[in-house]
Amino acid sequence: MIKSWMVIGGVAFLVALAANVITPSDRQWFKRLQRPRWLTFEGAIPIIWTVIFICGAWSAYIVWEKDPGSTSTWLIMGLYLLLEIVTIAYTPVMFKLRSLKVGTILGGTGFIISALLILAVLSISGWAALLLVPYLLWSPIGTYTTWQMIRLNPQDA
């Protein structure tokens, strides 16, 4: 029998694969952009997001196991999925459109969805809500960084 954590992890992994639709010219566009001087941790960003996605999947697993298959649980799983899709869309959509403004909007949207998701799962499991806090803390940093890059690269807003 397939375990719920396998399905949740598998879906999270498949959605994350969608970020690989970036072409070399998209990467070159982003690499040439100026960054804020204080952005000294750019190399750690993939590791940070990996940890955040693991926490999100673990949170979803906890919520699913509390009331598997109920309508409200399915709705919350949809919110988890929406959050991951918006988050994963940040890079390929911003790169394809070559628009830092779009990246800022997607980052802000992810923050709002994560706040709503925390409120939705708080009554189900405090641990599940706590596992979403890293997203809530980190996403404004990424959104702010992208917003600052607009000021440094107005031609790419």
The pLDDT tens digits of the residues spanning 98-134 come to: 999 999 999 999 999 999 999 999 999 999 999 999 9
pLDDT tier, 36 (very low <50, low <70, confident <90, very high otherwise): very high
Q: How far apart are CA 117 and CA 39, in angstroms?
A: 29
- pTM for this entry: 0.91
**Interaxial angle between packed helices 71-97 and 100-122, expressed in degrees from 0 to 180 and rounded to the nearest 10:** 170
In the chain, the percentage of residues whose pLDDT exceeds 70 is: 100
Residue 157, pLDDT score? 87
Q: How far apart are CA 130 and CA 84, in angstroms?
A: 17
pLDDT tier, 23 (very low <50, low <70, confident <90, very high otherwise): confident
Widest CA span in the chain: 53
Write b or e for each residue in 33-48: b if 16 or more Cβ atoms lie within 10 A of its Cβ, otherwise e.
eeeeeeeeeeeeeeee
